Chains A and B, each alone.
Chain A
């Protein structure tokens, strides 16, 4: 760790003393120190959102969602496994199971925490955990097509007015990060549909491989009609570099 000493904080995780950079999320601090904590809504490339509550641990005896918990002060004392934690996670898994009773990952967790779906919660099995990864991925990709809309039981991922979202570029960022595969899309050689919208797929002008929808290419500042696929782009770039006069002979400097 390269942080200056005054910006480090130290405390214990499962009794072992650790020092981490101030404001490190507890989840990351634990993982950096070889302590595993189960998560569902956390994604390393996306900001944490605290939606699934599976990452609950005890901080000073109180339950806290570790993905959202920044370590701010010296002297923290964290426990990542206890009866209380197991009970809380079991309850979380039970609730999540009511949405995705067949999800493999959830079923493994259910076995681990010895819980099962509650029959009184039946009827809402749409496969979506409301973890909001798709919402954050969409934002990170440069659109905000979908959000978690509504409240309570009817809360769900949808576009504004529950309509096909105008700013969806058809990039599939949402579908790729969904832990349960609940974001549905269809794709053929030259078309794609998602969130009720139809897209065409642009081929790479060199190799003909699918590059993406014109909308997502335009969003990335690429030519929506004639963008090269990543591989052909790399090749073209390498060729261009080699052709530069200063690359003809190594420079000294």
Chain B
């Protein structure tokens, strides 16, 4: 009996088991390890780590948050609190091409909502959604500080100004 228990412990704790899990799931542990490798363990490095992870994975995978909790010796609940607080982070994968339509005051007045509606229609998505094939993500932002170019959107962070509902197609 106790032998059996020992064996189970061995299975669960050994690299053998971990290795197998890694082989089984398609999660890219190598990339995660690389991201953590150069990261100091003081908790203040959590945010930059999450930013790099978001960039690499286009979201914050569960595995990365758990790994971060272990790396920074923080409770998982705290890491999750941080990850779920900032709008720059997402817990589900964002589209490969991320379009953010400005709905700030200036853009709102100069047709931002119509640009957003046109993109929603073309992509068959609502603001905040990602296409089923993962290719497009549609979001809104509140003022990008480029009001002179209103209405404005960003495509993967690059600003595109003076949009019209018709010209919105060029963003795709």
Pair from one complex: yes
The interface size of chain B toward A, counting residues with CB under 8 Å, comes to 14
Query: Which listed residue (B62, B65, B77) contacts A144, Cβ 8 A?
Result: B77
Contact A150 B62 (CB under 8 A): no
Given A160-B65, A161-B62, A150:B85 Cβ within 8 A: yes
Q: Main secondary structure on chain B at its contact with chain A?
A: helix
Q: How many A-B residue pairs have CB under 8 A?
A: 42
B149, chain A: closest CB distance, angstroms: 28
Q: Is A86 an interface residue (CB 8 A)?
A: no
B127, chain A: closest CB distance, angstroms: 16
Contact B76 A149 (CB under 8 A): no
Closest to A143 in B: B75
User: Which residues of A lie under 8 Å from residue B69 when comparing CB positions?
Assistant: 160
Query: Which listed residue (A145, A146, A150) contacts B84, Cβ 8 A?
Result: A150
The interface size of chain A toward B, counting residues with CB under 8 Å, comes to 15
Contact A166 B81 (CB under 8 A): no
Q: Is B79 an interface residue (CB 8 A)?
A: yes
Interface string of B50-73 (1 = CB under 8 A from A): 000000000000100100010000
A196, chain B: closest CB distance, angstroms: 14
A134, chain B: closest CB distance, angstroms: 11
Contact A146 B85 (CB under 8 A): no
Given A160-B65, A161-B62, A148:B81 Cβ within 8 A: yes
User: Which residues of A lie under 8 Å from residue B80 when comparing CB positions?
Assistant: 147, 149, 159-161
Q: Which 9 A-B pairs rank lowest in CB-CB distance, beginning with the nearest?
A: A144-B75, A160-B76, A147-B77, A160-B80, A147-B81, A149-B84, A160-B77, A149-B81, A150-B84
- Other than the given A160-B79, A167-B76, 14 more pairs (CB < 8 A) read A144-B76, A144-B78, A147-B75, A147-B81, A149-B81, A149-B84, A150-B85, A151-B85, A151-B86, A151-B87, A159-B80, A161-B62, A161-B80, A165-B76
22 A-B pairs in the complex with CB atoms less than 8 angstroms apart? A144-B77, A144-B78, A145-B77, A146-B77, A147-B75, A147-B81, A149-B77, A149-B80, A149-B81, A149-B85, A150-B84, A151-B84, A151-B85, A158-B77, A160-B65, A160-B69, A160-B75, A160-B77, A160-B79, A161-B65, A165-B77, A166-B76
